[in-house]
Amino acid sequence: MNILFTNIKELIQVREVSIDFLSGKEMNVLPTIKNAFLLVENGLIADFGTMENCPKTKFKIIDAKGKMVLPSWCDSHTHLVYADNRENEFEDRINGLSYKEIADNGGGILNSAKKLQAVSEEVLYDKSKTRLEEIMHLGTGAVEIKSGYGLTKKAELKMLRVIKKLSDNYPIEIKATFLGAHAVPNKYINDKSGYVKMLIDQVLPAIQKENLADFIDVFCETDYFSVSDTDQILKAGFKQGLVGKIHVNQFTTIGGVQVGVKNNVLSVDHLEEMRNEDIEALIGTKTMPVSLPNCSYFLNIPYTPARKMIDLGLPMALASDYNPGSSPSGNMNFVVASACIKMQMTTKEAINAATINGAYAMNLHNKVGSITRGKLANLILTKKINSYNYIPYSFGNSCIEKVFLKGNEII
Ligand code: NIG
Ligand code: FE
């Protein structure tokens, strides 16, 4: 689709030259052009500048007077393929049960796995596509989706095939992650190493054969998978050509950040519990810290100490963690608002974290995450707003008028 956006009040996140990611003080710089045009040709960003230099074309014109344009959100951590919600656990939580107590009572990840194993691939696809469409309308233009509610070879492959089908059928950019090491299924309750061996010897090669995953993930956490399990699974994934992205420091600090950094993973995600040594381990590395404020909000657990980490020079990405247990929302607008309201990130930092840094955490920074010539025209057109600060300020309200993916309006 070819479009000329004219009279854009402010074109946000303009990068003349493609960058990998932003860290420390750079995160508080958000380049924009006021009174701008943006030319979209064949689904790509072809040109932009101030209105004085606006070209004459026969393209469809969208007059964006009073409105802003920014790159669509890049959500680098979700589990949006799942069979059913877990509202019953929500009631339990309101009644005072913790995440661990709910899991111990037959809820949690194993509950989702039981439900997922029971549904067909077609039903799982239909349920998941509704969630994908929902986040597209909320402005997400690139998303990572994990397996990990299958926990058998058959069900893990079912999940990954659904992710592949979503990717084939929708214009949103999708990356797939194998998270077989999400919880130990009951069958292996006294034989965790047998489960890890099954994942490595049987599931990973099958995934590779069908080319179903980009990344390998592990829930590195007390009562789930240890540092040495994580190390073993990551290395097995690397042998199959997968890149590492891991869950660490959600509830306890057991050395997850360190094992991630040692293995040069692309991102370490969650980071609600961070000791100084965990923060220091990330300095000077290319591993992106990913914060998931929706999870902190929903589970009432600490937020990632993002202010401290950015002040120490680190980068930060923001993602939704959309899943039925700890974040039943994929709304990146709320994520950005929460980062500002609860984590003392500035609007500029939060927008950078939810666009270019999120793109990096999916290895998609050359395709999305900024207004750069040649990148996909995955865009948010806002309603009439006074400043981009209004986006997080008006938390819970939508500032989005339209979303475009590859230059096509999402209806
Ligand atoms: O990222 N922490 C592990 N996995 C998910 C939650 C999974 C669930 O409760 O279903 C998360 O928070
Ligand atoms: Fe997660």
H/E stretch holding 400: strand 400-405
How far, in Å, from the CA of 180 to the mean position of ligand 2? 12
For residue 136, count CB atoms less than 10 angstroms from its CB and return exposed for 0-12, middle for 13-18, buried for 19 or more.
buried
Share above pLDDT 90 across residues of the chain, in percent, rounded to a whole number = 99
What would the mean pLDDT of 322-342 be, rounded to a whole number?
98
In this predicted structure, which of 5-14, 88-97, 314-323 has the lowest mean pLDDT?
Answer: 88-97
Q: What is the DSSP letter of 19?
A: -
Ligand 1 contacts CB of residue 89 (under 6 A) = no
- Asked whether the beta carbons of 329 and 299 are under 8 A apart, the reply is no
pLDDT of residue 390: 98
How far, in Å, from the CA of 109 to the mean position of ligand 2? 11
Q: What is the pLDDT of residues 42-99, one digit of tens each?
A: 999 999 999 999 999 999 999 999 999 999 999 999 999 999 999 999 999 999 999 9
Give the position, in ligand 1's atom list, of the atom nearest the Cα of 99: 9
pTM, whole model, 2 decimals?
0.98
Does residue 267 register a pLDDT over 90? yes
Per-residue tokens: 28: 């508080």
Protein residue with least CA distance to atom 9, ligand 1 = 325
End-to-end CA distance of the chain: 14
Protein residue with least CA distance to atom 10, ligand 1 = 325
Give the position, in ligand 1's atom list, of the atom nearest the Cα of 270: 1
Distance CA 18, CA 379 (A): 17
pLDDT of residue 317: 99
Q: What is the pLDDT of residues 364-399, one digit of tens each?
A: 999 999 999 999 999 999 999 999 999 999 999 999
pLDDT of residue 185: 97
Q: Which ligand is nearest to the CA of 111?
A: 1
Distance CA 84, CA 276 (A): 38
Q: What is the pLDDT of residues 108-141, one digit of tens each?
A: 999 999 999 999 999 999 999 999 999 999 999 9
Protein residue with least CA distance to atom 11, ligand 1 = 326
Ligand 1 contacts CB of residue 326 (under 6 A) = yes
Q: Helix 332-343 vs helix 347-354: angle between axes, to the nearest 10 degrees?
A: 140
Q: Which ligand is nearest to the CA of 116?
A: 1
Residue written as token pair 């799982």:
124
Q: Which ligand is nearest to the CA of 295?
A: 1
Which residues are within 5 Å of ligand 2 (an ion), measured at CB? 321
Residue to substitute in 81, 92, 109 for testing ligand 1 pocket (most ligand atoms within 8 angstroms of CB): 109
Q: What is the pLDDT of residues 158-210, one digit of tens each?
A: 999 999 999 999 999 999 999 999 999 999 999 999 999 999 999 999 999 99
Q: Which ligand is nearest to the CA of 146?
A: 2
Band (pLDDT 50/70/90 cuts) for residue 298 is very high
How far, in Å, from the CA of 63 to the mean position of ligand 2? 39
pLDDT of residue 128: 98
Ligand 1 contacts CB of residue 253 (under 6 A) = no
Does residue 299 register a pLDDT over 90? yes
Q: What is the chain's mean pLDDT, rounded? A: 97
Does residue 234 register a pLDDT over 90? yes
Residue to substitute in 79, 292, 329 for testing ligand 1 pocket (most ligand atoms within 8 angstroms of CB): 79
In 3D, which of 87, 165, 97, 154 has the Cα closest to residue 129?
A: 165
Q: What is the pLDDT of residues 91-109, one digit of tens each?
A: 999 999 999 999 998 899 9
Does residue 1 register a pLDDT over 90? no
Bridge partners (DSSP) listed for residue 245: 267
Band (pLDDT 50/70/90 cuts) for residue 411 is confident
Ligand 1 contacts CB of residue 112 (under 6 A) = yes
How far, in Å, from the CA of 112 to the mean position of ligand 1? 10
Between β-strands 60-63 and 3-12, what pairing exists: parallel, antiparallel or unpaired? parallel
Give the position, in ligand 1's atom list, of the atom nearest the Cα of 86: 10
Residue type at 133?
Answer: E
